[in-house]
Structures are given as C-alpha cells and as structure tokens.
A = this chain, B = another copy of it.
Amino acid sequence: MFPCIFSLKDWERSQKVADLSTIEEIAKKAGVSRSTVSRVINDDPNVNEQTRERVLEVVNSNNYVPNRAARKLAGGRTGVIGLVIPIGVSRLFVEPFFPILIQSVTNRCNQVNRSVMFWLGEPEYERRSITQILSNDLLDGVIVSSLKDQDPIVAALHRSQIPFVLIGRYRDLPVNFVDIDNEKCAQMAVNYLLQTGRKRIATITGVADTMVSRERLDGYRATLAKAGFKIDDNLIAEGGFVEEGGYAAMAKIFPHKPDAVFATNDAMAVGAIRFLREQGVRVPEDVGVVGFDDAPFAASYKPSLTTIAQPIGDLGRRAVDMLVNVIEQQPNDVMNEIFASDLIIRESA
C-alpha cells in the first residue's frame, strides 16, 4: 500500500494521489445508497449480510475512511479524545508517571480506533485557550490527569457537557474517575517501615494543593497514629514531586533525626538518598527510604528502591475505556474505579 522510498528516483516517481473517496462514491461503486454505506461503516444491524460484505469490500479496497469533520458536523463523533495534563515541564520530564500514562492512553486509543489530542501544562494565561478548545470542538471526550485543587478546568468541562474522565479523583465531586487508593498505599509503606523497626518515620510530600499529596499524607498520619506514635511536623516536608525537592526536603528533615523516610515518589526518594549520602548516612542501615511509583530506574538504582508500584498502564487504559463508555452509552451515574497497588521491597528499606 505505502511503499518505502529508497531513492530520489522513487520519490519523484511516487505520485501524489488521494485514493480516498466520499461516502457517495463508495455507494455508487457498491451499487447502494449513501445511507446503506453509512449503516455499514457504523455497524448498524439493519443491513442485509450480503450487502454489508459487498460494501465492506469496496470500502476496504478503496481505503475509504469517513471524513471526521463531516461526521462531527452531522451530529456524529469524531473519534478524537483529548488528553490534558496540566503540569509543568519539570515534573513531566522527571516523573515516569507521565510518559507511561501518555503512552498507555495513546496506545489504548489506537486500539479502540480513536485519536488523541494533547495538551500539556501551561502557564495560567494559556488555560483560557484550553477551556475554549475543550468547550467547542472536535473532541468526543476528555481525559484529565493530575489536577490541582483549584483548577477551573473541571467546572469548564462540566458546564460544557462534554464527557470526561479524571485520572485521580477531584475533591469529592461526583465525576468519573480512575484512581489508586493513595491512603492505603501510604499505609502499606509506613506499616512496612514500622515492621522493620523504624521509630522516627518522616515523609516527603508532593505538591501541596493536590488530592494525591493530601491523601498520601493522611495515610501516613493515620498509620502512625494508629500505631501509637505522635506526629512530629518536623518530620514532614514538601518536595514538589521533583528530585531537587526531595533533596531539599531531606535537608530540612535530617536535623530531626529520622530513621526512615516515606518519599511520595521515586524522584524525591532519589533526591533524599542523594542528600543522605552526602551526609555519610547509610541507606538503608541508618535511614530506610521508601519511594512511590516504581520508576524504571527504581530497580537499577543503588540502592535499589523499595517503592509502591502504581498500575499506571491500567489507569490509562481504563480511563480510555471508561470515557469511550461514557461517550457511547451516556450512563446516568458516574463511574469510579480504584486500582490496587503493590509494595515492592528492595534494598532501600
């Protein structure tokens, strides 16, 4: 179909053609009406089996793809899903969460024959353009990840009536989302540290005004409290989910003599370990470190990271499936799904 091009000669020979026709042309070739072709390509059951095959044959041999713009305009779907990740460059590059998420969402979309339209985090002044785009256009639905608490996009989405699914819950609003149980994850991490005899367990939190940070911190607090420990605020510091932040947070915590740290992602865990090393502190002998994410580097890092593995791929795939379901079935109730995570025990704690 699409030959490779091996030389300039090939290139010049290769003719510019558009072998794709309109539904009307396909109809004529198949000897049926526009409507019948439309039914075939939209899987309408009310078509004679032989007719369907004949049409399908013409469709395939002509490499016909329906025009999405026309389809949308006529009240149909474009098959385009928006993916919005409103975070800054620094985290996008460093946290493995995002590339994996992006990959799993785009892959699943391809599998279910959808395209992905993409928005990365922007300075505030560009948010307006995002909401404009969302509220009109070519999108059948939207997936949004990593929201901050006061992000106006949820309200915009809601107002514009476009189907959407969040990755990570948003306040306690009744919206569609997929998520992990962050509190329980934190509980697993802290409990493990307690089991290994740690007495002064610190935590490095992520970005302040996000559900995910709050939940992990709540889990940390609750677990310690339940074990009969008093919470020492000196053992809590914010790291913004980036390596440098982990380093700085560890520097703040260190004078208060922790014997373990629950870093709420792996990037910060690495930052923390870097600081500890510079102080001549041994990990895990003197201070145990638990991370979060099971980043690709977590296993090969020295020491390899004990960490919580989120099923990021599952989150992305399920978000797509959920959104497609919302688009097609328009259910009345909101859908939620919580995925389980695992504690991966390695060397660092």
Do B67 and A137 touch (CB < 8 A)? yes
- Smallest beta-carbon distance A58→chain B, Å: 16
In the complex, what residues of B have CB within 8 A of residue A17's CB?
Answer: 159
> In this assembly, does A20 line the interface, its C-beta being within 8 Å of a C-beta of chain B?
yes
Provide the bound-state CA to CA distance between A115 and B82, in Å.
10
Smallest CB gap from A63: residue in B? B132
Chain B residue numbers with a CB within 8 Å of A296 are 93-94
The answer to whether A68 touches B65, judged by C-beta atoms less than 8 angstroms apart, is no
On whether A18 and B110 interact (CB within 8 A), knowing A67-B137, A99-B93, A155-B3, the answer reads: no
Binds B, one of A168-176, A217-225, A282-290, A318-326: A168-176
Q: Give the number of copies in the complex.
A: 2
Instruction: Map CB proximity to B onto A311-334 as digits: 1 under 8 Å, 0 otherwise.
Output: 000000000000000000000000
What residues of B have a CB within 8 angstroms of the CB of A50 in the complex?
A: none
Of chain B, the residue at the smallest CB distance from A71 is B69
**Given A117-B80, A138-B138, are A16 and B158 also a contact pair (CB < 8 Å)?**
yes
Contacts of A126 in B (CB 8 A): 110
CB distance from A168 to the nearest CB of B (A): 16
Across the interface, do B1 and A128 meet the contact criterion of CB distance under 8 Å? yes
Interface size on A, residues (CB 8 A): 75
Render A160-204 as a binary contact track against B, CB cut-off 8 A, 1 for contact: 110000000001111000000000000000000000000000000
For A4, the chain B residues whose CB sits under 8 A away are 149-152, 155
* A5 and B155 in contact, given A69-B72, A138-B78 (Cβ under 8 angstroms): yes
Complexed CA–CA distance, A166 and B16 (Å): 18
Closest to A148 in B: B4
A330 smallest CB distance to B (angstroms): 13
Interface stretch (choices A29-37, A101-109, A227-235, A336-344): A101-109
A-B contact pairs, 7 of them (CB 8 A): A2-B152, A3-B152, A11-B173, A15-B159, A20-B135, A69-B71, A93-B100
A interface residue numbers (CB < 8 A to B): 1-8, 11, 14-18, 20, 63, 65, 67-73, 78, 80, 83, 89, 92-94, 96, 98-100, 102-103, 106-107, 110, 113, 115-120, 122, 126, 128-129, 131-133, 135-138, 149-156, 158-161, 171-174, 296
Given A4-B152, A69-B72, A102-B118, 11 other A-B residues pairs in contact with their CB atoms under 8 A: A3-B155, A5-B171, A7-B171, A8-B174, A11-B174, A16-B161, A63-B135, A65-B133, A68-B138, A69-B138, A117-B118
